[in-house]
Amino acid sequence: MTTAICPGSFDPVTNGHLDIIERTAAIFDKVIVAVLENPSKEPLFTAAERRRLLQEVVAHLPNVEVEYFQGLLVDYAKKKGAKVIVKGLRAISDFESEFQMALTNKKMSPEIETMFMMTANEYSFLSSSMVKELVFFGGNPEEFVPPLVAAALEEKLKHRRSGK
């Protein structure tokens, strides 16, 4: 059985993430979506909230599970017996940081491969940060995130907007 890990901060999950997870689930026997901390980002949603939103949006995929892990991605992959990390790659903007992370991970754990999947054209511009900004300023995110994520964003950001 081949297990792949789809890691990310998922703050929150977008339709672009979901597209990558669905396509990965069609290739590998089992997919673990790993909610991890990105030390260069301050998350809007707690780890438990990010995990719950993901669990709901991947509920239709029987070979996908969602977990939270604090620590190095390669340590988590080893713990889970996964030899493949799958990441989505958007346009040019992601390349440099993804290249650095993939090579650092390879140096630490040569037995684990990172594979990149190009985002679908319609999601190539999409990011969690952009969706958060859009909702913060009153925009409608329904084309970019699943409905329950749109509701969670609205709930979370209305307090910020009103300064509470």
Residues with active-site annotation: 17, 41, 90, 128
CA distances from 35 to 30, 43, 72 (A): 16, 12, 12
Number of residues that bind ligand PNS (CB under 6 A): 11
Report the site for ligand PNS in 53-112 (rule: CB under 6 A): 72-73, 101, 104-105
Q: Contact, 117 vs 88, CB < 8 A?
A: yes
Among 25, 31, 32, 36, binds ligand PNS (CB under 6 A): 36
31 interacts with ligand PNS by CB under 6 A: no
What are the beta bridge partners of residue 36? Answer: 69
Report, in Å, the least distance between residue 163 CB and ligand PNS: 27
d(CA 150, CA 130): 13
Nearer to ligand PNS, 28 or 69 (CB): 69
Give the Å distances, CA to CA, from 128 to 17, 96, 117: 9, 19, 18
- Residues forming contacts to ligand PNS in the complex (CB under 6 A) are 7-9, 36, 38, 41, 72-73, 101, 104-105
